[in-house]
Amino acid sequence: MKYIKLGTTGLDVSPIAIGAMTYGDPDRGHPVWSKGEEEARPLIKHALEAGINFFDTANMYSNGSSEEILGRALKDFANRDDIVIATKLRHPMRPGPNGRGLSRKAIMTEIDHSLERLGTDYIDLYQIHRNDHSTPLEETLEALNDLVKMGKVRYIGASSMHAWEFAKALHLQKQHGWARFVTMQHHYNLLAREEEREMIPLCLDEGVGTVIWSPLARGRLARPFERAKTSARSKTDGDYADMLYSPAEEEANHAIIDAVGKIADARGVSRAQIALAWLRSKPVVTAPLVGANFIEQINDAVASLEIELTEDEIRVLQAPYTPRYDWQGIYDEAELDAIRKRVPGMELK
């Protein structure tokens, strides 16, 4: 494994990260596709043996059990100083006031809960899991800075938001001398390239590394178009998956998936390897998050690191893409309502 720097930091990470949303107690999360501890541990161990040292989870995944399972496995199988643990916060963790969000109170509470579940005394990369439009951004950023100064967090990162929001956050951090976001975890793959408009150029200009969620478009890029929605995840995502990969763009999606298949067949490799190799051809991408359910998926991800796509292959993969956009990719309805109230006359649908 050849390690790379996380953005412009000095931190060495594998160019493949394991997304631990897949791992969690099925009774506390996703009964159809969550891998319980007995199934998850061999996968985490195999990833470590393959040289992967970058693991991403979140407090909300399976209501905290993802962090618990990952923490116990990493403690048993790895040297803490060699691995990079990333987790996130913002989404609801309990009912009632202050059970969600990015207030100072929520941040100071949730970091301690995550540290306990992960069985560690520090988080390498602590990320805000989307923005919290009900909390002043300055409050959130100062609290995150304090976590870094306290030694509970080494680096901080953000996730899917509008580029103007991310630019504002980076500006405030610079203005106040606060710890800076070093990563952006966002949605980017051959079927979802809208981030190329503003977010990716911003990250390139600011030296921010990107960590990619859904790099295989919920499995759509790993199988023929006719079987695009046959994964357990695709079957249970419902309207959310359709929102991300709109049926209105089905013709373009079909052509892209077919192109992935043709290049994979010509090279004698899997479709997943081609889709991941395409991401690696983008200089802003630090690592895709691979939610591996099987050993073979980890092997595929590692094998993709050996593939260098030609300019012609990249052109063929990218040519059929058509623009698509939806506010819901970033905001939920409650947040949209909050923005409408704060900015009278703004039309958001």
Q: Are strands 209-213 and 12-13 parallel, antiparallel or unpaired?
A: unpaired
Q: Is 245 a catalytic residue?
A: no
Q: How far apart are CA 85 and CA 31, in angstroms?
A: 25
Q: Of 183, 221, 233, 212, which is closest to residue 289 (Cα–Cα)?
A: 212
Rounded to the nearest 10 degrees, the angle between the axes of helix 65-77 and helix 104-118 is 40
Q: How far apart are the first and last CA of the chain?
A: 45
Radius of gyration over every alpha carbon of the chain, rounded to an integer in angstroms: 19
Among 3, 23, 61, 245, which one carries the catalytic annotation? 61
Residue 277 DSSP class: H
User: Which run of H or of E encompasses 269?
Assistant: none
Q: Report yes or no: 127 and 185 within 8 Å, Cβ to Cβ.
A: yes
Cα dist. 291→112, 135, 169, 217, 344 in Å?
25, 31, 29, 11, 41
Q: For residue 141, count other CB atoms closer than 10 A to its CB.
A: 24
Q: How far apart are CA 67 and CA 58, in angstroms?
A: 7
Identity at 157, one-letter amino acid code:
G
Tell me the catalytic residues: 61
